[in-house]
Amino acid sequence: METQILDLAPVNLRDLGGLPVDGGTTRAGVLLRSDDVSVMPAAFARQMIDDGVTSVIDLRSPEEALLTGRGPLTVPGVNYHHLALTASVAAPEDISEDLMSAATTPAQVGAWYANLLETQARQLALGATLVAMSDGATVFHCAAGKDRTGVFAAVVLSALGATPETISADYAVTATRLPQLFPRLRAIMGGLMPERVLDEEAVQGMGAMMGAHAESMEAMQQLLISRHGSVLEPVRQAGLSEATIERLRERLVVARA
């Protein structure tokens, strides 16, 4: 029987350019979000570097980063920053069994995202500052490029003045990548994640935590606005300065003609 070789190139890698924000659109080729980049083929990594990537922001837990390392993007000229947003991948202490059940709703997922943003605001502020200060393109990633990556994307896009609808729509793009993501995660994560999280049939019977529903990101934003007045306020309080936000806008926003 012929052995099928799985292509480990990222399947949820996308440029955040072209999104509508306050005063214009996001600039292409400067900020990319992705699923795990640590095991990508060397040729794929070389192409990303040729395309201008000079910084990697790794949002994975320490155990995930230890499992597969930094990957082929870790070469001279590319800076690597590990900003863990969760303590582990298999069962973070703040994810309950209810969140992983078939009954999980987008509102519950959004509440977990809001809590993640509030508790990890300092890490998120540092990540946004790294994007602002980078000379080249930055790629940020977790395992699937969905939850932790989605929260970080929401922070940066909020700083640029994107509407809640734009942020939620960007998050929901991941839903189209899920069929390709689960085989890739199984190959990368092995025994690090519970079998039920990596089994495609089981995932079909699980709730919103295993999907990428726009409503989940909408719920996160609504909660944060009700608690703090804006999505960005906890990150501002944790150290994201107005000067850094202005630098982000200079780097990432193409003004309307």
pLDDT at position 63 over 80? yes
| Position 178 confidence tier, pLDDT thresholds 50, 70, 90 | confident
Pick the CATH number of 14-89+103-255 from 3.40.50.300, 3.40.50.1820, 3.90.190.10, 3.40.190.10: 3.90.190.10
List pLDDT tens digits, range 19-33.
Answer: 999 999 999 999 999
**CA angle in degrees (0–180, nearest 5) for 30-159-93:** 95
Cα 206 → chain centroid: 21
List pLDDT tens digits, range 197-256.
Answer: 455 554 454 567 778 999 999 999 999 999 999 999 999 999 999 999 999 999 999 998
Pairing state of beta strands 253-255 and 24-26? antiparallel
Residue 113 tokens read as 């995202």
What gap in Å lies between CA 63 and CA 233, rounded to an integer? 30
N-to-C CA span, the chain? 59
What gap in Å lies between CA 113 and CA 72, rounded to an integer? 30
Domain boundaries, the chain: 14-89+103-255
Amino acid code (one letter) for 133: M
